Amino acid sequence: MPFTPRVFSGVQPTGSLHLGNYLGAIRRFVAMQDSYPCLYCVVDLHAITVWQDPTELAKATRHVTAAFLAAGIDAEKNIVFNQSRVSAHAELAWIFNCVARMGWLNRMTQFKEKAGKDRENASVGLFAYPNLMAADILAYQATHVPVGEDQKQHLELTRDIAQKFNFDYAERLAELGWTDGLFPMTEPIIQGPATRVMSLRDGAKKMSKSDVSDNSRINLTDDADTIAQKVRKAKTDPEPLPSELKGLEGRPEADNLVGIYAALAETTKEAVLAEHGGAMFSAFKPALADLAVSVLAPVNTEMRRLLDDEAHLDAVLDNGSQRAAAIAGPILADVKRVVGFVG
């Protein structure tokens, strides 16, 4: 079966969105919407794999929705919705729980990082998270998924699950006339200079919503003064910027700031170094802060406006959920027929 090109991606409503989410994912979502039909999902089922205060979860769901729209995602042309509204995600995830192998999930580094030392106390949902992510994507037979570098392993697992399902049910699929399998081999789209934005306080750690230090990240809701202050305080080294990429080796904090600058300016790290090579951080940081403010201020202003209009955000999710369910419903019905469920 030739698969219609379709994009799916999601963001968890687990706190305040940051520059990493924006450059690594949301801005890429916007870039893809002119070339493909896209579904962009607020993945609230994923969020509860770790404890979420219910009031905060609802607030964060609208916050992510507002960020999608403020960044430029067109919710008329594309589908913006929240995961818990479309039951196909949870239903297909159960089937995938029975396709994926324990050994595959045991290798997932994100589970190891998030569960930490207290694995026995982690939720079963956190362990099975990648199966739900595979279901998110394959419920729409999505062919492309723009994500940050941290999701690469989960995308590989999605392909393994699709392949095993297609293989295990090959005979049944052939009987039904689907000789090429029911699921595509989804392509991860991990591109640009900011696929892994690092913490401003530690060049070895990913910028993350759950980092206890607010100074480690630039939030999409930070005002200009806060952004400038966080960039000024960002950890660096005493050397000037090199003029060539090779000079960033072994300098993770410098590499990170150059990558952020390049992504914000929509250029390459090489071009940034060609312009700023030889500069001290005392000169580079103010330029970076100005650039970050100029890119984020319009998003910030529009987010605030949208967050004041809860009814509009809820209407967008309502409309998107119905349109998403209309795509996933027939695909899930096919999956159930293949598996042998009656009815």
Question: 80 by DSSP, 3-state: which?
Answer: strand
Applying CB under 6 A, among 207, 227, 332, 338 the residue interacting with ligand AQP is 207
Applying CB under 6 A, among 208, 216, 219, 256 the residue interacting with ligand AQP is 208
Applying CB under 6 A, among 6, 14, 254, 285 the residue interacting with ligand AQP is 14
Q: At its nearest, how many Å lie between ligand AQP and the CB of residue 274? A: 24
Of 314, 295, 309, 303, the closest CA to residue 67 belongs to 303
Of 225, 243, 238, the closest CA to residue 282 belongs to 238
Applying CB under 6 A, among 60, 132, 147, 272 the residue interacting with ligand AQP is 147
Rounded-to-integer distance, Cα 205 and Cα 215, Å: 13
Q: How many chain residues touch ligand AQP (CB under 6 A)?
A: 20
Rounded-to-integer distance, Cα 160 and Cα 178, Å: 19
Catalytic residues: 114, 206, 209
Residue nearest to ligand AQP (CB): 24
Contacts of 327 (CB under 8 A, 6+ apart): 39, 79, 140
Residue 150 contacts ligand AQP per CB under 6 A: yes
CB burial of residue 275 (10 Å; 0-12, 13-18, 19+): middle
Residues 167-206 that bind ligand AQP (CB under 6 A): 194-197, 206
Q: At its nearest, how many Å lie between ligand AQP and the CB of residue 176? A: 34
Residue 133 contacts ligand AQP per CB under 6 A: no
Rounded-to-integer distance, Cα 316 and Cα 76, Å: 9
Of 14 and 131, nearer to ligand AQP (C-beta) is: 14
Rounded-to-integer distance, Cα 167 and Cα 178, Å: 12
Positions that interact with ligand AQP (CB under 6 A): 11-12, 14, 20-21, 24-25, 147-148, 150-151, 194-197, 206-210
